């Protein structure tokens, strides 16, 4: 089926993931994004205070580590879904890009010597 613009819809990737690993990547990226929104909201509304270091508030540190871990897991499962499962849906690509953010932040912290 083709639209008048010449786009072939039978071979376009679409939005929804087609593989189990792709669905895992999207789910993990959703958990990452929800935790980021939750932590920013709790900081904005004064529910928690921003600690000077992660050792000042262990709960905040564990929360941050879980955000990082789910982001990296989303990156790994997204790369596996794209390379092995040939799942190139838009949500899998977005989940993989979201998983790149914690890795990029960690690399920048190490490069600047702040880690």
In the chain, where the domains are located:
20-112
Identify the pLDDT of residue 15. Answer: 86
Angle at alpha carbon of residue 12, lines to 10 and 14, rounded to 5°: 110
Q: Are 69 and 61 in contact (CB under 8 A)?
A: no
pLDDT band, very low/low/confident/very high, at 47 (cuts 50, 70, 90) = confident
DSSP 20-47: HHHHHHHHHHHHHHHHHHHHHHHHHTTS
Q: What is the mean pLDDT of residues 6-34?
A: 83
- Taking all residues of the chain, what is their mean pLDDT, rounded to a whole number? 86
Whether the predicted pLDDT of 7 surpasses 80: no
Could you tell me which residue, 113 or 66, shows the higher pLDDT?
A: 66
What pTM value is reported for the model? 0.80
Q: Of residues 13 and 90, which shows the higher confidence score?
A: 90
């Amino acid at each position: 089926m083709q639209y008048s613009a010449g786009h072939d819809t039978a071979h376009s990737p679409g939005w929804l993931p087609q593989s189990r690993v792709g669905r895992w990547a999207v789910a993990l990226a959703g958990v990452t994004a929800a935790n980021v929104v939750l932590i920013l909201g709790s900081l904005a509304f004064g529910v928690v205070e921003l600690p000077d270091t992660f050792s000042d508030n262990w709960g905040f540190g564990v929360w941050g580590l879980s955000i990082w871990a789910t982001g990296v897991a989303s990156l790994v499962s997204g790369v596996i879904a794209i390379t092995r499962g040939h799942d190139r849906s838009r949500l899998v690509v977005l989940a993989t890009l979201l998983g790149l953010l914690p890795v990029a932040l960690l690399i920048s912290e190490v490069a600047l010597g702040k880690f």
